[in-house]
Amino acid sequence: MSKGVLVDITKCIGCGSCTVACKMWNKLEYDQNVSSIGETAKLNDKNWTVVTRTSAQDSKGQAVWRFAKQQCMHCLEPACASACFSRALQRNADGAVEYYPDLCVGCRYCMIACPFDVPKYEWSKAAPLITKCQLCSTRVAKGEAPACVAVCPTGVMKFGDRQELLQEAHQLIRREDLYLKTVYGEKEVGGTCWLYISDIPFDQLGFKSGLGSVALPSYTHSFLKNVPIIALGWGVLLTGMSFYARRRNELAKARQERLAGKNGEGDADADDFDEEA
């Protein structure tokens, strides 16, 4: 059964412990040009986890700071994996969408397909790869929480069974007037493993809005299932064209050699005639 993480944005103080833990566990470099905490924080090939800061108004009209942790959402039906014809991205039994670099061909279709704009490319490297949060899949496989969840000092995040976390989120929403009456990630693009509750509208916090509840692969499946057939067809066509071109070149070369041979014989006969004369 899929695991998940419930994030209570009202508890986040923006300490950035989760971003440090992410870098340490995944051995990521620090990016001096792009911050992983604050108003300018952005996901990139070195920042798999960031904490954004937003100035907003709460339900009482008071100005507040809100911090929101962002990373790969690990969709229940990931569009990135659906678009990857080399299967470099796969969703495992725990719900983590994992990346297998040995299978990647560098097409970057996953970057286009992701509705959350998560996969990033290592543009600065000679042999670039796609990078993104792996949900600390090796930790999760051992029953441990992801590194970012484990180090949070204020209990912003809770790791567990996704369905149980959803039930807990809705209980909190019903019990407390503080929260919006929605759980971000419950239905977005078919649902995600990361779930959020907040007292501030999610679009004001930088979350993608208007994504709908239909999983994106359902739109593309009818086309993508034909990709292997199309690829095979192109392979046969290009092979045939290559053979045809090579055969034509061989025939043209043979003809030139025959013509050169006849011309040589003619010259030899002329020389013999001169000697007899």
Closest CA to 117 of 92, 86, 80: 80
Q: What is the DSSP letter of 202?
A: G
The residue that leads in pLDDT, 194 or 228, is 194
Q: Which of 176, 205, 220 is the last residue of a domain?
A: 220
pLDDT digits (tens, 9 = 90+) for 8-17: 999 999 999 9
Looking at the DSSP bridge assignments, the partners of residue 228 are: none
Tally of structural domains, the chain = 2
pLDDT band at 68 (very low <50, low <70, confident <90, very high): very high
pLDDT for residue 230: 62
The CATH code of the domain that includes 30 is: 3.30.70.20
- Beta bridge partners, 131, equal 120
Same domain for 64 and 195: yes
Average pLDDT, stretch 126-147? 96
Cβ neighbours for 32, distance < 8 A, ≥ 6 positions apart: none
Please indicate, yes or no, whether residues 19 and 156 belong to a single structural domain of this protein.
Answer: yes
Confidence of residue 208 (pLDDT cuts 50, 70, 90): very high
The length of the chain in residues reads: 277
**Model confidence at 228: pLDDT above 50:** yes
pLDDT band for position 267 (cuts 50, 70, 90)? low
Q: Are residues 247 and 161 in the same domain?
A: no
Read off the pLDDT band of 215 (50, 70, 90).
confident
What mean pLDDT do residues 219-245 have? 64
**Is 207 in the same domain as 246?**
no
Question: Is there a single domain that holds both residue 213 and residue 232?
Answer: no
Residues 125 and 169 in one domain: yes
Say whether pLDDT at 107 is over 60: yes
Q: What is the mean pLDDT of the chain?
A: 89
Which of the four pLDDT bands, split at 50, 70 and 90, describes residue 249? Answer: confident
Classify 159 as helix, strand or coil.
Answer: strand
Name the percent of the chain lying above pLDDT 90: 70
**270 and 187, same structural domain?**
no
Distance of CA 135 to the CA centre of its chain: 13
Instruction: Please give the average per-residue pLDDT across 52-76, as a whole number.
Output: 91
Q: Which pLDDT band holds residue 225 (cuts at 50, 70, 90)?
A: low
pLDDT for 261 beyond 80: no
Picking from 220, 241, 262, the residue at the C-terminal end of a domain is 220
- 150 and 233 within one domain: no
pLDDT band at residue 277 using 50, 70 and 90 as cut-offs: very low
CA 169 to chain centroid? 27
Q: For position 271, what pLDDT does the model report? A: 53
pLDDT given at position 17? 98
Same domain, 235 and 266: yes
- Whether pLDDT at 270 is above 70: no
Give the whole-angstrom CA distance, residue 53 versus residue 36. Answer: 11
User: Which of the four pLDDT bands, split at 50, 70 and 90, describes residue 273?
Assistant: very low
Q: Residue 259 is part of which domain span?
A: 226-277
Predicted confidence band of residue 54 (pLDDT cuts 50, 70, 90)? very high
Q: Within this chain, do residues 97 and 213 fall inside the same structural domain, yes or no?
A: yes
Instruction: Return d(Cα 201, Cα 58) in angstroms, integer.
Output: 9
Residues 246 and 156 in one domain: no
**Residue that finishes a domain, picked among 220, 243, 265:** 220
Q: pLDDT category, 260, cuts 50, 70, 90?
A: confident
Strand bridging mode 37-38 / 63-70 = unpaired
* Residue 49: closest CA among 168, 161, 151: 151
- For the entire predicted model, the pTM comes to 0.79
Say whether both 62 and 189 belong to one domain. yes
In this model, does residue 171 exceed pLDDT 80? yes
**E runs forming strands in the chain:** 3-8, 37-38, 50-57, 63-70, 89-91, 97-99, 120-121, 130-131, 157-161, 194-197
